[in-house]
A and B are shown apart, each in its own frame.
Chain A
Amino acid sequence: MISVRELTKVYRQPTRDVVAIDDINLDIDDGEIHGIIGRSGAGKSTLVRCLTLLDRPTKGQVIVGSQDLTAVSDTKLRNARRRIGMVFQHANLLSSRTVAENVAMPLEIVNAKKAERRARALELLELVGLQGLEDTYPAQLSGGQRQRVGIARALAADPDVLLCDEPTSALDPNTTDDILTLIRSVADRLHLTVVVITHEMLVVKNLCDSVSLLEAGKIVESGKLSEVAADVNSQLSRSLLPLPTHQPVTADLVIEVVGKADAVNTPIGSTIAAENPVTVDIAAANIETLGTTRFAHYLLGINSDQPINLTGIEATLARHGFSVRVRAARGVQA
């Protein structure tokens, strides 16, 4: 549905050029919810502005459906943009219009009749759970309600793609959950392809099917949530399945392992010990469910009175579906 090819944006400044996003490639399938996570300064805002052509990329293509947005004229771009609904961090509603008039705004552009616009607005407001508030003004609403209006407005022109820019960053935790649930349900119901830009791992955990990690303008990791989380060597896995605070581990061999689905039920210590002459301490563990899949992340301290055969331990873990990362190895056989 969405393909991004070699997308690059360079801001030319008098003294130097700033490369805000650097050769980004991305493919998002129909109906997929894709999260793009990064810290502030990673290039998230620039990426959003380039995806919607609010800023012209220096190089590269943004293809939505079969249309390359970077190649069309301004008039055609205005039409193409109507296939993209956008949700902003601060909703960006017009304070001079009522809630219903805000929601119906995208329809005004295509000259829909007044009664038709009103009917569509009421229908969308019901979808987002704001029935009865159609004639209030945005200033009278809470932040969460305003964001719901923003979502309703984004859906008004029947888009194929919903682009969410930090949709919950200005909201409290409970409201965040409500908004994420709402986005999920409208995406499923209307079969939308969704791109969510965020700095909150919680949003990725609770909403996304797939995820990309943006760092210094580049995508450094990308994949299905269930796959990146299961790879203990990925940065995303460490943020998705964080270990609780723990004491420093001193052992002959210190490893981190991540397993998913059935692997979660494996008794990790006895399984390793059964096949290798070692003792296993679980120093820290985190077991949680992402989407519908359960994941286990362990930090293990392994000791033995003889040199440890790391290859053997890795083989045991691999057979039970765990990925392994070695943190410290003192007593390991060369």
Chain B
Amino acid sequence: MNWFEELLNNRALETALPEAIWETVVMVGIAGVATVVIGGVIGVILHLTRPGGLVPMRTLYAILSSIIVNITRSIPYAILMVALIPFTQWLIGSSIGPIAATVSLTIATAPFFARLVETSLREVPSGTVDAAQVMGMSNGQIVTKVFLPEALPGLISAITNTTVVLIGYSAMAGLIGGGGLGRLAYNYGYQRFDSQVMIVTIIVMVIGVQLIQWIGDKIVAAVDHR
């Protein structure tokens, strides 16, 4: 019982944990929205411009696919976040804090999300696109009325996966000044050997990820009519 009493009276947990959770939520929230918007647009463009796509554009596709998406994805996040410090400084005016961390987080996850979007869109049967074209739909209408609604279950799964990846990355970002649960676990759990903080942080993260996955699966089930 002693260990639990100690846990309940742990000052670090009492004051630092809620703040850390909030910082993580801010980082994942802002970076998540930015990733979905930027990565989503890139994903749609990738799908439209690929060879055999609705509006094939070889050069644009090559640039987006190999240079932006593949190169960014091949740099480990631990290196990317450090390398981007000057860029973040220039963009935000600071390289410390959860808001600054969202820059490198977005740059790291948007290409990943773009690939997931491209894969989901590829699952939409080409026959439905033929049908839409024969009806007289414009390419813009085909994207908003056919591709996105038909791929919605896949897109939601992609958002769920990306959010989980973001939570992992955000913990790493905590180490170089991003704050959040990553920094809490590092400062207290690693540097002060406070195993209670470490355990609680892990539990919070596991619960958070489970919750996101559960919500994501529920939404997929609700929108999936296939």
Contact = CB atoms under 8 A, between A and B. Distances in A.
A81 B135 contact: yes
A93 B136 CA distance: 15
A79 interface: yes
A104 B132 CA distance: 12
Contacts of B135: 81-82, 105-106, 109, 157
Given A105-B145, A139-B225, A139-B226, A92 B127 contact: yes
B146 A52 contact: no
Contact of A81 (B136, B149, B152): B136
Chain A CB within 10 Å, residue with most, of B131, B138, B141: B131
Contact of B150 (A78, A81, A88, A94): A94
B217 interface: no
A88 B149 contact: no
B130 interface: yes
B221 interface: no
B128 interface: yes
B133 interface: yes
A94 B141 contact: no
Interface in A81-99: 81-82, 84, 86, 88, 90, 92-97
A52 B131 CA distance: 10
B137 A84 contact: no
Given A95-B150, A95-B226, A96-B150, A54 B136 contact: no
Chain B CB within 10 Å, residue with most, of A92, A93, A96, A109: A96
Nearest to B150: A96
Contact of B149 (A78, A92, A96): A96
A108 B141 CA distance: 10
Given A81-B134, A86-B134, A96 B127 contact: no
B143 to A, nearest CB: 13
A333 to B, nearest CB: 60
Interface in A61-94: 78-79, 81-82, 84, 86, 88, 90, 92-94
A97 B225 CA distance: 8
Interface residues of A, number: 25
B207 interface: no
Interface residues of B, number: 21
Given A86-B131, A139-B225, A94 B146 contact: yes
A303 to B, nearest CB: 57
B223 interface: yes
Given A105-B145, A137-B225, A139-B225, A94 B128 contact: yes
Contact of A109 (B128, B137, B149): B137
Contacts of A82: 135-136
A92 B132 CA distance: 9
A92 B226 contact: no
Contacts of A79: 136
Interface in A125-163: 137-139, 153, 157
Chain B CB within 10 Å, residue with most, of A78, A79, A153: A78
B53 interface: no
Contacts of A137: 225
B145 A108 contact: yes
A84 B145 CA distance: 20
A97 B131 CA distance: 14
A79 B138 CA distance: 10
A54 B133 contact: yes
Chain A CB within 10 Å, residue with most, of B125, B135, B226: B135
A96 B225 contact: yes
A138 B127 CA distance: 15
Contacts of B149: 94, 96-97
Contacts of A97: 149
A92 B136 contact: no
Given A79-B136, A95-B226, A109 B131 contact: no
A184 B46 CA distance: 43
A92 B133 contact: no
A240 B56 CA distance: 44
Interface in B17-37: none
B134 A96 contact: no
20 contacts: A52-B133, A52-B134, A78-B136, A81-B135, A84-B134, A86-B131, A86-B134, A88-B131, A90-B127, A92-B130, A94-B146, A94-B149, A95-B150, A95-B225, A96-B149, A96-B150, A96-B225, A108-B145, A137-B225, A138-B225
Given A90-B125, A108-B145, 14 more contacts: A81-B133, A84-B134, A86-B134, A90-B127, A92-B127, A93-B131, A94-B150, A95-B150, A96-B152, A106-B135, A109-B135, A109-B137, A137-B225, A139-B226
